[in-house]
A and B are shown apart, each in its own frame.
Chain A
Amino acid sequence: MQNTNFSKIDGVIPKEVTIPSSVSEIQSFLRHVTKEKLSVIPAGSGSKLSIGNPPPQIDFLLTMKKFNKVVEYIPDDLTITVGSGMLLKDVQKILADNNQLLPTNPPYNNEATVGGIVATNSSGPHRLRYGATRDLILGLRVVQTNGTIIKAGGKVVKNVAGYDINKLYIASYGTLGIITEVSFKLFPKPAVERTMLLNFNQHGHALRTSTEIVKSQLLPVFVSFFSAGIPDTEVLEPCLLIGIDGHPKTVAWQIDQINSIANLNGVVQKEVYQDHKQSQLRSSLCAFPEGNGSNSAVVSRINIKPSNVGNFISSVLDLTSPFSTYVMSHIGNGIVYLILSDFTEEQIGLLANTLTVLRKQAVNIQGNLILEIAPLGLKNLMDVWGEVGQKSQLMTQIKSELDPANVLNPGRFVAGI
């Protein structure tokens, strides 16, 4: 699995793979590539290397997988510091032993490394309650292209000393430096977890139900909408998947409340799950952005205002009828994932046109559309990110100041960075 991730990035094969095992190795490596102007793609496990414009060429693929240890974990402080190459699932295992959790459930839950998650701000459905990955990060340690090591933030939950440099690296997609260590704030594991599945026969009913829940005083951990069932399950209709975690009495009461809201809004079938079936449903939810397994699926992520989600989804369903279309949305956060599949080579042009129209629609309502997974043919027809406008100048300046030889992920990010 990992090898296939690494072997080709948009058709380009890295000339060499380097697997440093110490910070000083990274320092001298970065000095070397900067001097020689060689290109480097930093990676954790490689689960999200599909995100980005096609690289011109790749001299090195640098993987952080040897930075896979806990640096410091003090359960009593509800904080942890880990090597960036550590798998999220291994971190969660250690935390679970102490009844704690890092409340982010991004896609690639089993393969994703902490560093990769930070570099892409990869976040899951739990952001409704706990915020995005961005909101859970306390500190970072980063090696600069000139070989110096800097620290951002720290290990305490409140810290305003100096600039908030963490934010520069979170979602910088490996273009500014190599993250070696990450500190997170943690949360107590809720006593009880339940997942409700509400089926509808009309999208509108499902969307209205979710809007009602989000604006109530209930505190679900996620409310996610599926346009045409949940992949890898027998659920085929429009539905909502809702997570309710916490004190047993609070959870039970909230389930009752949600049932009443759903009844008023045309729910067809309701089910509450726990244990095995619950983890299956939650995994399918988190894994949705990985695509539906077919090699040629195109996965886009759209960020818009929550109130625009309903109309946007209708427009998606109208425009994408030539393809197999799956839509999932974390409505309360205004995030929509769109999977398009079952298209032929000849339809790539149509696909690009369709996605360009959708991107325009998103931009018109102050949003954006990013291609997370796309075949090279499509990337050749449209930018993965879209325009950043006026900000591109500052971003380019930051990039050229921190990576003057343009060695880290050249050409893959926004504005030609």
Chain B
Amino acid sequence: MSKDEPLVLELIDLLGYENVIIDDISLKVYECDGAEFFKALPDVVVFPDSAEEISKIVKLANTYNKPYIARGAGTGLSGGTLPINAGIMIAMNKMDRILEVDLENRQAVIEPGVVNLMLTQAVQDKGYHYAPDPSSQQACSIGGNIAENSGGPHTLKYGVTTNHILGMEVVLPNGEIIEFGGPIEEDLGYDLRGLMIGSEGTLGIVTKAIVRLTRNPQAYYTMLGVFETIDNATNAVSNIIADGIVPAALEMMDNFVIRAVEAAFSWGLPTDAGAVLIVELDGVEVGMSDEADQIIRILEDHHTREVRTAKDDEDRKKLWTARKHAFGALGLLAPNYITQDGTVPRSQLPKMLQFVGEVSKKYDIPIANVFHAGDGNLHPIVLFDKRDSDQVERVHMVNKEILQACVDVGGTISGEHGIGVEKQEFMPLIFSEEDMDFMVTIRNIFNPKQLCNPKKIFPIDETIGVTP
């Protein structure tokens, strides 16, 4: 887009030169998110500072009939921020203020560009935190979390984003600024706040959120169970859940990941192990070691080689840092990767992980596994080189077979990363025509002209030239 196009001039007029990017080199930064396999350039990137400015941008988009899309931190893993058909990208970076912290009511009012971890850091000295903790929490924005309904390791006990958002301010696709929910638990009428969460930015742009804050637990008990095989580890997970124990977190890493993480962070993970489980309990200190003993017994029943315990808080934090940076560490192993995100009933984990191993062999595509085992939320990380078209073809088959298998055992195709563009073709695996028509009906009520983040989530006929 050139500098003197009327839309650009109006955007500059509204936001100032410094808040409008149109040169190709700078735009490159915004051509993809964490699913870097998919690329598309926006026409223009803008940096508004208020809901009012966003409302005006949205109205301009309507006037010029241009698509537009919000961008948080760009860590999404399903191509959610991909500006298909170009258009205006609305970057939320400047709207990163924590507007109000209300500890008495355990809530905070924030702008959507606030980075997940920053929110926790702002309240941790007072003994609180924001519970949903995606592994990307050092970078990802709460706006992005709301759009994707993100989870994290501690989702097992504390729930996902939707369980922690009380209300929000939204700029609707007609430019109207509106509030859903509020600083209370139950608003009147339909739960439009609930509908917005997980709608992947296709129903409007969130400009403010009222989030719950969670009291820090009195104590943690963090264990690392070391296993010779993935099979033993996943059986232990199923057994823990079946025994009626719901820890605060229950995460698995396979040998691939252990080695990558250890090379990067040297926590002291056993690089010859088939898999490790991180099991964390939290809550009241008295009685906690009894519950830990119960878990250790189950790990032993499944032939754990050893169980290590985090020595102190620093040790615990180091272990979590290692776990949360696992994706990053893996990035070094192959030029490209796609992270699958299917969820299965927890009793099906051993079977599913065996299947993932078989598929990897069958197509000769390496797959690493680091995932939220307690929730049954898999993350097979499929490693490849996109310059090799044969590999790309095989990766596509791998994705398809794994997602189909998740669905076949009663699961779903995405536990937390969203559909975006990456999985839209797989939606029919779980949803009927009627189901999807219904969702499209709802979308069209909010977003009738399809300018707000178009061509996402639902299968589309037009090829967008990016699907592997």
Whether A associates with B in a native complex is yes
CA distance A187 to B159 in the complex (A): 13
A367 touches B287 (CB 8 A): no
Closest 6 CB pairs of A and B: A167-B194, A188-B244, A249-B287, A250-B287, A76-B242, A158-B415
A108 CB within 8 Å of chain B: no
A246 CB within 8 Å of chain B: yes
CB contacts (< 8 Å) of A249 on chain B: these are 286-287, 290
A238 CB within 8 Å of chain B: no
Q: Select from chain B the residue with minimum beta-carbon distance to A368.
A: B188
Q: Select from chain A the residue with minimum beta-carbon distance to B202.
A: A163
Chain A residues 60 to 95 lying within 8 A of chain B, measured CB to CB, are 74-79
CB contacts (< 8 Å) of A151 on chain B: these are 431-432, 435
Which of B39-47, B59-67, B214-222 is found at the contact surface with chain A?
B214-222
A307 CB within 8 Å of chain B: yes
* Between-chain CB contacts (< 8 Å), 7 pairs: A155-B345, A156-B345, A160-B417, A164-B162, A216-B215, A366-B184, A395-B192
Please count how many residues in chain B sit with their CB below 8 Å of the partner chain's CB atoms. 89
Which of B20-28, B29-37, B354-362, B371-379 is found at the contact surface with chain A?
B371-379
CB distance from A315 to the nearest CB of B (A): 17
CB contacts (< 8 Å) of A172 on chain B: these are 190
Interface string of B159-202 (1 = CB under 8 A from A): 11011000000001000101110111111111111110111000
A162 touches B419 (CB 8 A): yes
A341 CB within 8 Å of chain B: no
CB contacts (< 8 Å) of A75 on chain B: these are 242
CA distance A392 to B345 in the complex (A): 38
B86 CB within 8 Å of chain A: no
B346 CB within 8 Å of chain A: yes
Chain B residues 422 to 441 lying within 8 A of chain A, measured CB to CB, are 423, 427, 430-432, 434-436, 438-439, 441
CB contacts (< 8 Å) of B188 on chain A: these are 368, 370, 385-386, 388, 414
CB distance from A288 to the nearest CB of B (A): 17
Chain B residues 219 to 260 lying within 8 A of chain A, measured CB to CB, are 238, 241-242, 244-246
CB contacts (< 8 Å) of B163 on chain A: these are 131, 135
B189 touches A157 (CB 8 A): no
Residue of A127, A168, A248, A385 with most partner-chain B CB within 10 A? A168
CA distance A334 to B410 in the complex (A): 37
Further pairs besides A160-B148, A368-B186: 10, Cβ < 8 Å:
A149-B434, A156-B375, A158-B376, A160-B417, A164-B162, A188-B245, A368-B184, A388-B188, A390-B176, A397-B445
The one of B172, B194, B418, B435 in contact with A170, judged by C-beta atoms closer than 8 angstroms, is B194
B215 touches A163 (CB 8 A): no
CB distance from B204 to the nearest CB of A (A): 10
A74 touches B178 (CB 8 A): no
The one of A215, A217, A391 in contact with B178, judged by C-beta atoms closer than 8 angstroms, is A391
Chain A residues 196 to 217 lying within 8 A of chain B, measured CB to CB, are 215-217
A366 touches B182 (CB 8 A): yes
B189 touches A391 (CB 8 A): yes
Q: How large is the interface on A (under 10, 10 to 19, 20 to 34, 35 or more residues)?
A: 35 or more
Interface residues of A (CB under 8 A from B): 74-79, 99-100, 121, 127, 131-132, 134-135, 144, 148-151, 154-168, 170-172, 176, 187-189, 215-219, 246-250, 252-254, 303-307, 333-335, 366-368, 370, 385-386, 388, 390-392, 394-395, 397-398, 401-402, 413-415, 417
CA distance A155 to B408 in the complex (A): 12
CB contacts (< 8 Å) of A398 on chain B: these are 190, 442, 445
CB contacts (< 8 Å) of A157 on chain B: these are 343, 346, 375-376
A253 touches B411 (CB 8 A): no
The one of B198, B287, B410 in contact with A160, judged by C-beta atoms closer than 8 angstroms, is B198
A76 touches B238 (CB 8 A): yes
CA distance A215 to B435 in the complex (A): 43
CB distance from B42 to the nearest CB of A (A): 24
Interface residues of B (CB under 8 A from A): 102-107, 127, 148-149, 151, 155, 159-160, 162-163, 172, 176, 178-180, 182-195, 197-199, 215-218, 238, 241-242, 244-246, 283-284, 286-288, 290-291, 343-347, 372, 375-377, 410-419, 423, 427, 430-432, 434-436, 438-439, 441-443, 445-446, 457
CA distance A78 to B107 in the complex (A): 30
CB contacts (< 8 Å) of A417 on chain B: these are 189
CA distance A150 to B442 in the complex (A): 13
CB contacts (< 8 Å) of A78 on chain B: these are 241, 244, 246, 346
The one of B194, B417, B431, B446 in contact with A162, judged by C-beta atoms closer than 8 angstroms, is B431
B189 touches A390 (CB 8 A): no
CA distance A156 to B195 in the complex (A): 19
Q: Select from chain A the residue with minimum beta-carbon distance to B178.
A: A390
A217 touches B284 (CB 8 A): yes
CB distance from A68 to the nearest CB of B (A): 23
Contact A307-B442, Cβ < 8 Å, known A76-B242, A391-B192: no
Contact A158-B155, Cβ < 8 Å, known A167-B195, A170-B191, A250-B283: yes
CB contacts (< 8 Å) of B442 on chain A: these are 163, 165, 168, 398, 401
CB contacts (< 8 Å) of A149 on chain B: these are 434
CB contacts (< 8 Å) of B216 on chain A: these are 217
CB contacts (< 8 Å) of B151 on chain A: these are 158
CA distance A217 to B218 in the complex (A): 6
The one of A121, A159, A392, A401 in contact with B412, judged by C-beta atoms closer than 8 angstroms, is A159
A306 touches B105 (CB 8 A): yes
CB distance from B231 to the nearest CB of A (A): 17
CA distance A415 to B187 in the complex (A): 13
Q: Select from chain A the residue with minimum beta-carbon distance to B341.
A: A160
Q: Select from chain A the residue with minimum beta-carbon distance to B346.
A: A77
Contact A161-B191, Cβ < 8 Å, known A75-B242, A366-B183: no
B189 touches A414 (CB 8 A): yes
A247 touches B287 (CB 8 A): yes
B184 touches A303 (CB 8 A): yes
CB distance from A402 to the nearest CB of B (A): 8
CB contacts (< 8 Å) of B189 on chain A: these are 385, 388, 391-392, 395, 413-415, 417
CB distance from A155 to the nearest CB of B (A): 6
CB contacts (< 8 Å) of B172 on chain A: these are 394
CA distance A168 to B193 in the complex (A): 10
CA distance A154 to B406 in the complex (A): 12
Q: Select from chain A the residue with minimum beta-carbon distance to B458.
A: A162
CB contacts (< 8 Å) of B413 on chain A: these are 161
CB contacts (< 8 Å) of A254 on chain B: these are 284
A171 touches B439 (CB 8 A): no
Q: Select from chain B the residue with minimum beta-carbon distance to A166.
A: B194
The one of A100, A246, A304 in contact with B287, judged by C-beta atoms closer than 8 angstroms, is A246
A162 touches B184 (CB 8 A): no
CB contacts (< 8 Å) of B411 on chain A: these are 154, 156
CB contacts (< 8 Å) of A334 on chain B: these are 105, 184-185
CB contacts (< 8 Å) of B412 on chain A: these are 154, 156, 159, 161
CB contacts (< 8 Å) of B457 on chain A: these are 162-163
